[in-house]
Structure 1
Amino acid sequence: MAKTNKKKKNNRTKKEEAFQERVIQIRRVSKVVKGGKKLSFRAIVVVGNEKGKVGVGVGKAADVIGAVRKGVADGKKKLIDVSLTKANSIVHPTNGAAGGAKVMMRPAAPGTGVIAGGAVRTVLELAGVQNILAKQLGSNNPLNNARAAVDALETLRTFKDVARERDISLEQLFA
């Protein structure tokens, strides 16, 4: 009879430990049913690893903990990659929109910090951006502002991306 090794290495836990979660908003919502109103909770959660991956998720459940758990799972499904510079800023100015919310972002010099408010600040911090100027325009809804920030980060393109899209080398791009 061979000895079995009881210690199993689980690679999934290493990946999940790297992600941080921050709750932006928890709201009590109600649904009108035959017997009256059914109360539940909605949680808006931002998930990121501070190394260029970030996602925004929404979860609803009868209790707060369940809603947050569902929001984290939803956020992990919607992760995006963010291309950052060596100064931990974005590559170029960009805008994003979601619903009635608009977000404007500009790169900043090293040492500037994250100059942004509300949900946009949380998204940027969990994406790993350390030097940026951002402004919320239009709606102040936290969910739409977080989604607009993700939309703005999604539209970022590096010189490598542009060269690949045009099927030319980086040297030809600068010539």
Structure 2
Amino acid sequence: MSQTTESKPQGGQRGRGTPTYGGGRPDAKGGDRPRRRREPEEEVWVPKTILGQKVASGEISSLEEIIELGLRIQEAGIIKKLLPDLKSEVVDVGIIQKMTSNGQSTRFKAIVAAGNENGYLGIGQGKSKQMRIAIEKATNAAYLNVNPIKMGCGSWECRCDQKHSVPFKVKGKGGSVTIEIIPAPRGLGLVAGGKIKRLLELAGLKDAWTTAKGSTPTMNSTSKAILDCLRQTFSQG
């Protein structure tokens, strides 16, 4: 009589009925259990400044109150706490190259705008050897530069009581770029270029005429000119 011997699977090999595709654990039916992806945990903001502690405790509840007191915002978490609906958007990215004694060095720069499309806008710039870090720096700077914008209807053609444009004509300058924003009647829309129009939309404007002079493709100067314009609506109004 011939005897048959069965060999056991060695080195982590499984039998024929238990496939090992993907390295997952076999379930009761012989298939693999899909691996669950860990969702990134949200970082809990811990205030480090006296102003941050007052905002976290509820003693200060608005950005306008901080500006009236003349306090300086040094934490992006303060803006995220006061304006939870704020969203950021990359406006422009570029490469900075220069020659050094060790050779050519390359860095990345990014410009990010943060706004809630309802009267708040901030613009920041960041530089780093990695694009991701440059965007993170620019986003943090944009939160720290968020300013309130006074909206209204300054057009003599409209004269409504809705907040859809600027309350009066404003002019701002950044570098070689000069931008002027003129109130427009309701329903006209934003008469502006692509990136300038997007920044005004993030600020919450729906109708306005704009004129721009200088090197407007340079977004660093253009974004500063727009922010200078919109700041005047709050300071002068």
> Shorter-chain TM-score category?
0.7 to 0.9
Partners of 2:172 and 2:83 in 1: how far apart?
28
Deviations 1:63-112 (A, max 9, x none): 21111111110111111110012232100111111110000111111111
Partners of 1:30 and 1:136 in 2: how far apart?
29
Q: Which has the higher contact order (CA 8 A, sep 6+)?
A: 1
Mapped contact 1:87–1:109 kept (Cα < 8 A): no
TM-score when normalising by structure 2: 0.59
**SS of the residue 1:72 aligns to:** helix
Partners of 1:22 and 1:157 in 2: how far apart?
23
Query: Aligned pair 1:33/2:100, yes or no?
Result: yes
Q: Which residue of 2 aligns with 1:149?
A: 226
Deviations 1:94-148 (A, max 9, x none): 1111110000111111111122114322221111111111122122211111110
Q: Which has the larger share of strand?
A: 1
Partners of 2:129 and 2:84 in 1: how far apart?
26
Partners of 2:82 and 2:194 in 1: how far apart?
27
Supply the AA of the counterpart residue of 1:37: Q
Q: Name the stretch that deviates more: 85-94 or 117-126.
A: 117-126
1:79 to 141, 146, 151: 146
Mapped contact 1:114–1:132 kept (Cα < 8 A): yes
Q: Which residue of 2 aligns with 1:66?
A: 133
Mapped contact 1:114–1:130 kept (Cα < 8 A): yes
**SS of the residue 1:152 aligns to:** helix
Structure 1: runs of 5+ lacking an equivalent: 1-8, 163-175
Mapped contact 1:46–1:122 kept (Cα < 8 A): no
> Displacement, 1:46?
1.0
Partners of 2:101 and 2:83 in 1: how far apart?
41
> Aligned pairs, how many?
152
Query: Aligned pair 1:97/2:173, yes or no?
Result: yes
Mapped contact 2:174–2:228 kept (Cα < 8 A): yes
Partners of 2:83 and 2:133 in 1: how far apart?
18
Partners of 2:197 and 2:115 in 1: how far apart?
13
Query: Aligned pair 1:54/2:117, yes or no?
Result: no
Identity %: 25
Q: Which has the larger share of helix?
A: 1
Partners of 1:16 and 1:52 in 2: how far apart?
11
TM-score when normalising by structure 1: 0.78
Q: Name the stretch that deviates more: 117-126 or 92-101.
A: 117-126
Partners of 1:121 and 1:81 in 2: how far apart?
18
Q: Aligned-pair RMSD on alpha carbons?
A: 2.2
Q: Which residue of 1 aligns with 2:85?
A: 18
Partners of 1:64 and 1:16 in 2: how far apart?
26
Structure 2: runs of 5+ lacking an equivalent: 1-43, 46-55, 57-76, 153-161
The higher radius of gyration belongs to 2
